[in-house]
Amino acid sequence: MSRFFANGSDSESESSEEEVQAPNLNKASAFQFSDDEEEVKRVVRSTKEKRYENLTSIIKTIRNHKKIKDIPNTLSSFEDLTRAYTKALPVISKEENGITPRFYIRCLAELEDFINEIWEDREGRRNLSKNNTKSLGTLRQKVRKYIKDFEEDLSRFREAPDQESEAEDEEAHVSDAGDAADDSDVGFKKELSVTAPKLAKSAPAKVVPADDEDSDDSIDWDSDTESETESSEDENQYQNMRERFLKRSTEKGEDKIGDEEKRKDKRKEQKLKIRKRAEDDEDGEWETVVKGHVVEKPKMFEKDAEIDIPLVLAKLVEIMSARGKKRTDRRLQIDLLFELRDISDQHNLGVPVSVKIHFNIISAIFDYNQKISEPMKMEHWALLLEVMQSMMKLLLANPDISISESVAEEHEEYTVAPFYIRGCPLAAVERLDDEFTKLLKECDPHSNDYVSRLKDEMNVVKTIELVLQYFEQCGNPNERCRIYLRKIEHLYYKFDPEVLKKKRGEVPATTATSVDVMDKLCKYIYAKDDTDRIRTRAILAHIYHHAMHDNWFQARDLVLMSHLQDNIDAADPATRILYNRMMANLGLCAFRQENVKDAHHCLVDLMVTGKPKELLAQGLLPQRQHERSAEQEKIEKQRQMPFHMHINLELLECVYLVSAMLLEIPYIAAHEFDARRRMISKTFYQQLRSSERQSLVGPPESMREHVVAAAKAMRCGNWQACANFIVNKKMNTKVWDLFYESDRVREMLVKFIKEESLRTYLFTYSNVYTSISIPSLAQMYELPVPKVHSIISKMIINEELMASLDDPSETVVMHRSEPSRLQALAMQFVDKVTNLVDVNEKVFDMKQGNFFQRGNMGNRGDRGYNRNQNNQGGNWGGQRRDNRNQRNRNQRGHHKNQQQQQQQQVQTIDEE
pLDDT of residue 657: 92
Quick one: which of 317, 364, 318 has its CA closest to 338?
364
**Residue 324 region by backbone torsions, left for phi larger than 0, else alpha for psi between -120 and 50, else beta:** left
Contact predicate 149/89, CB 8 Å: no
- Between CA 6 and CA 16 the distance in angstroms is 12
Is the alpha carbon torsion for 857, 858, 861, 862 positive or negative? negative
pLDDT of residue 297: 57
- The residues with which 812 forms a beta bridge, in sequence order, are 772, 805
Residues 6+ positions from 75 with CB-CB distance below 8 Å: 135, 138, 139, 142
pLDDT of residue 62: 92
Quick one: which of 504, 503, 574 has its CA closest to 541?
574
> For the whole model, what pTM was predicted?
0.60
Residues 6+ positions from 2 with CB-CB distance below 8 Å: 206, 208
- Between CA 538 and CA 481 the distance in angstroms is 10
Residues 6+ positions from 309 with CB-CB distance below 8 Å: 349, 350, 353, 414, 415
In degrees and rounded to multiples of 5, residue 648 shows phi and psi of -65, 115
pLDDT of residue 487: 94
Contact predicate 752/594, CB 8 Å: yes
- The residues with which 804 forms a beta bridge, in sequence order, are 813
Residues 6+ positions from 907 with CB-CB distance below 8 Å: none
- Between CA 35 and CA 370 the distance in angstroms is 70
Quick one: which of 670, 682, 655, 686 has its CA closest to 758?
670
Which uninterrupted H or E stretch holds 235?
helix 228-236
Q: Domain 648-814 adopts which CATH fold?
A: Arc Repressor Mutant, subunit A (1.10.10)
Q: Quick one: three-class SS letters along 487-547?
A: HHHCCCCCCCHHHHHHHHCCCCCCCCCHHHHHHHHHHHHHHHCCCHHHHHHHHHHHHHHHH
- Between CA 721 and CA 716 the distance in angstroms is 10
Quick one: which of 815, 801, 819 has its CA closest to 771?
815
Enter the DSSP assignment of 804: E
- Between CA 778 and CA 859 the distance in angstroms is 81
- Between CA 416 and CA 401 the distance in angstroms is 10
- Between CA 445 and CA 646 the distance in angstroms is 11
- Between CA 356 and CA 423 the distance in angstroms is 8
Residues 6+ positions from 560 with CB-CB distance below 8 Å: none
- The residues with which 422 forms a beta bridge, in sequence order, are 404
Contact predicate 542/561, CB 8 Å: no
- Between CA 285 and CA 297 the distance in angstroms is 20
Contact predicate 395/425, CB 8 Å: yes
- Between CA 616 and CA 612 the distance in angstroms is 6
Residues 6+ positions from 67 with CB-CB distance below 8 Å: none
Enter the DSSP assignment of 148: G
> pLDDT below 70 — which residues of the chain?
1-43, 162-260, 271-299, 624-626, 673-676, 816-819, 848-912
pLDDT of residue 218: 39
| Radius of gyration in angstroms for the set of CA atoms belonging to the chain, rounded to a whole number | 47
- Between CA 482 and CA 424 the distance in angstroms is 13
Contact predicate 788/833, CB 8 Å: no
Residues 6+ positions from 794 with CB-CB distance below 8 Å: none
* Domain range annotation of the chain: 47-158, 306-475, 648-814
Which uninterrupted H or E stretch holds 422?
strand 419-422
pLDDT of residue 881: 53
To the nearest 5 percent, what fractions of the chain are helix, strand and coil?
70, 5, 30
CA–chain centroid gap for 318, Å, is 44
